Structure 1
């Protein structure tokens, strides 16, 4: 694979797990105990019954592929815009796939020049045929820079949400620096694929 090749889903999952690290049970985290970034509630919902500190990395990887790549259809986005799909995957793993998908839908609608380029999209948090058609139209019209512009729009929405979370719940300030440092600006931070 060339240096400029987009990352595979396996690479995205490996990078995400490396950033998330092993077992954590931070008192300010409403999600409770996590391992490899997977909350105890998600692990239990997928059949894991053991202690979270021993949650297998392979099970975490399988959950990320299934719930945060395939189910939200980020694989369909990857066939069109791999860097955009990588961002959606990371945002979805942190905020939920529906939030990431809604960010994409909002950005595509805001960039359609009042419906001249393609119809508005209902921001329902699901990547369906209307969202994919809008993405295809946008990328066709904005060859070269379109994917980067969408990446910037997603990161802007993500950053605003992080700030709002910290403002609404002061305990979230414990996580704000890490969220901003490790989740936004993928192309500039270490341990992230250069996009």
Structure 2
């Protein structure tokens, strides 16, 4: 939903925490949810792990908006569903959550939430609460099938549960 970006980003950053370089994380060095690879792509230049450790706040907001929020057309998503999609995209890339949503709303499942997907979403006769729950269920199933689930699964499931709870709160606030 338009104007939800900052609120959703605050929730994302709570989940992400600070710098981590876990040897079993295929994403490698990460700070505040941003991988070294993503930071390099965003700045369009080579950066070091130290640069990543010291990522400025203004880079964070711009990066998250450009690399995740906008790619999900999140300003066009209903209240709560925007957070659900944004959080999964930050944690796992935007293609899988986009395809999961497209599948349930009857859009072409290409991993790109563009105007045609938004049109399908607006025509969808299901409820937003149901979509939030469906996306969170799909996310949990996705995690269970990853080879790194044993190492990271408990945290992923907790994060998904917290996201579901906050997304539903956002949805019901809108309904009041």
Superposed pair shares fold, TM > 0.5: yes
TM-score of the superposition, structure 2-length normalised? 0.84
- Could you tell me which runs of 5 or more consecutive residues in structure 2 were left unpaired when the two chains were aligned: 171-176
Change (3 A) 1:129 1:55: closer
Quote the residue 2:173 is aligned against.
Answer: none
What is the deviation of 1:53? 1.9
What is the count of residue pairs matched by the alignment? 165
Quote the residue 1:159 is aligned against.
Answer: 140
TM-score of the superposition, structure 1-length normalised? 0.77
The 5-angstrom pairing of residues 130-169 of structure 1 reads 130-138=116-124, 141-142=125-126, 146-165=127-146, 169=147
Quote the residue 2:10 is aligned against.
Answer: 14
Quote the residue 1:117 is aligned against.
Answer: none
| Whole-angstrom CA distance in 2 between matches of 1:46 and 1:134 | 30
| Whole-angstrom CA distance in 1 between matches of 2:35 and 2:152 | 16
Runs of 4+ in 1 over 4 A off after TM superposition: none
Change (3 A) 1:159 1:42: same
CA RMSD, Structure 1 to Structure 2 (Å):
2.1
Quote the residue 1:34 is aligned against.
Answer: 30
What is the deviation of 1:7? 7.3
Q: Could you say which structure has the higher helix fraction?
A: 2
1:56 aligns with 2:56: yes
| Whole-angstrom CA distance in 1 between matches of 2:85 and 2:19 | 24
> Matched residue of 2:28: which SS?
coil
| Whole-angstrom CA distance in 1 between matches of 2:71 and 2:159 | 24
- Could you tell me which runs of 5 or more consecutive residues in structure 1 were left unpaired when the two chains were aligned: 1-5, 110-120
What is the deviation of 1:72? 2.7
Contact 2:136 2:164 (C-alpha < 8 Å) held by counterparts: no
